[in-house]
Amino acid sequence: MSMKDKLDNKSQEISGKAKEAVGRATDDERLEAEGRTDQMGADLKQAGEKIKDVFRR
């Protein structure tokens, strides 16, 4: 996994955590759910990149 991909995925994950926290604090269920979705997307991308790395070796 390239460093750029790692940084992009990590920034998406952090952004998702922030959205989730703000949604929870403001009682905005939609924003909270959007934050969880962003985190799951980042996790899936990271898993996909790890699988690619395994097959490149």
Tokens of 35: 């934050």
* pLDDT reading at 57 higher than 80: no
Instruction: State the Cα–Cα distance between residues 52 and 8, nearest whole angstrom.
Output: 16
* Helix extents (H) in the chain: 3-25, 29-56
pLDDT of residue 49: 87
pTM for the model: 0.83
Instruction: State the Cα–Cα distance between residues 57 and 46, nearest whole angstrom.
Output: 17
Per residue in 2-54, pLDDT (tens digit) is: 788 889 999 999 999 999 999 999 999 999 999 999 999 999 999 988 898 88
Instruction: State the Cα–Cα distance between residues 14 and 9, nearest whole angstrom.
Output: 9
